[in-house]
């Protein structure tokens, strides 16, 4: 599951899980500080100061992990963002290197714990809890589940029929779930079209969700660029099949049909270039 529906809005699961893990860590650290304060006979003022220090340490660790995780994703691919460098700061593209983020957060917690011995046990327990919740939540929600190419029956805007695995057979696949009424979908279409033109060996499938052929044809006719590979999913079956409750959703599969990237929300041109680099290098 890459997104969840809350009323009329859909939200990406990963940041919600991150916030939940941070909230649990803050609660555990505060409980640990209270226990430590009682054990050493600290007064109310000292206990309050320790609680604030624990909160600060966890927030600093979370921010450091967030920043380092993003930096380690974009630094090896600065060239992919050269044409639009401001998109380096656009976290909507979902580009992260979690392992580096965890190491950075752990280093910040260790530094804070080293400064105040009373915080060592509470911060260690809180950090371990946050990591465990993140790992367990990611596994339970299938954030890293290796989906195969979903076996969906598609209808083209011209009336022809196909099944998605047949279109992708033997080629990498970019599967984009979109709709003409979806503003974020319209924002990312130019980047997808540019990536498609730059990667002829990759199959792009723009799978419209829930609209009929005339509506999609009218929308395509108004675009200043051409999209090749537009198909219809009138029953909107693709979202449940790939674990997404909102649009746009983009999934990238390798030539063997294995999922290598899953993204909910607007995906930037730089992120697309980075994800598709293995096949761009092979095309040269």
Q: What is the pLDDT of residues 164-178, one digit of tens each?
A: 999 888 899 999 999
What stretch(es) of the chain map to CATH 3.40.30.10? Answer: 153-283
The answer to whether 112 touches 53, Cβ cutoff 8 Å, is yes
What distances in angstroms separate CA 190 from CA 77, 180, 221, one per listed residue?
Answer: 20, 14, 14
- pLDDT of 56 over the 80 cut: yes
Residue 7 pLDDT class (50, 70, 90 cuts): very low
Tokens coding 161: 């029929």
Helix (H) or strand (E) holding 261: strand 259-264
What distances in angstroms separate CA 230 from CA 73, 193, 200, 225, one per listed residue?
Answer: 31, 11, 16, 13
Question: What fold, for 153-283?
Answer: Glutaredoxin (3.40.30)
- pLDDT of 206 over the 90 cut: yes
Mean predicted confidence (pLDDT) in 126-141: 85
């Amino acid at each position: 599951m890459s997104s969840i529906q809350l009323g009329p809005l859909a939200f990406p699961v990963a940041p919600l899980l991150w916030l939940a893990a941070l909230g649990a860590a803050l609660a555990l650290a505060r409980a640990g500080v209270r226990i430590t304060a009682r054990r050493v006979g600290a007064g109310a003022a000292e206990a309050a100061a320790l609680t604030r220090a624990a909160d600060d340490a966890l927030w600093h660790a979370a921010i450091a992990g967030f920043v380092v995780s993003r930096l380690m994703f974009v630094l090896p691919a600065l060239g992919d963002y050269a044409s639009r460098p401001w998109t380096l700061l656009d976290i909507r593209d979902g580009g992260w290197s979690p392992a580096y983020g965890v190491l950075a957060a752990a280093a910040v917690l260790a530094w804070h714990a080293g400064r105040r011995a009373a915080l060592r046990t509470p911060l260690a327990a809180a950090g371990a809890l946050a990591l465990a919740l993140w790992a367990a939540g990611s596994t339970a929600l299938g954030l890293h589940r290796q989906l195969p190419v979903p076996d969906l029956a598609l209808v083209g805007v011209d009336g022809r029929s196909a099944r998605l695995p047949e279109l992708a057979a033997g080629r990498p696949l970019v599967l984009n779930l979109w709709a003409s009424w979806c503003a974020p979908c319209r924002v990312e279409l130019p980047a997808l079209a540019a990536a498609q033109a730059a990667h002829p060996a990759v199959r792009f499938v723009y799978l419209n969700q829930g609209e009929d052929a005339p509506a999609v044809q009218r929308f395509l006719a108004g675009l200043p660029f051409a999209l090749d590979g537009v198909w219809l999913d009138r029953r909107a079956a693709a979202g449940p099949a790939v674990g997404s409750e909102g649009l746009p959703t983009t999934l990238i599969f390798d030539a063997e049909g294995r999922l290598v990237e899953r993204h909910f929300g607007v995906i930037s041109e730089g992120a697309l270039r980075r994800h598709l680099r293995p096949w761009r290098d092979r095309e040269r």
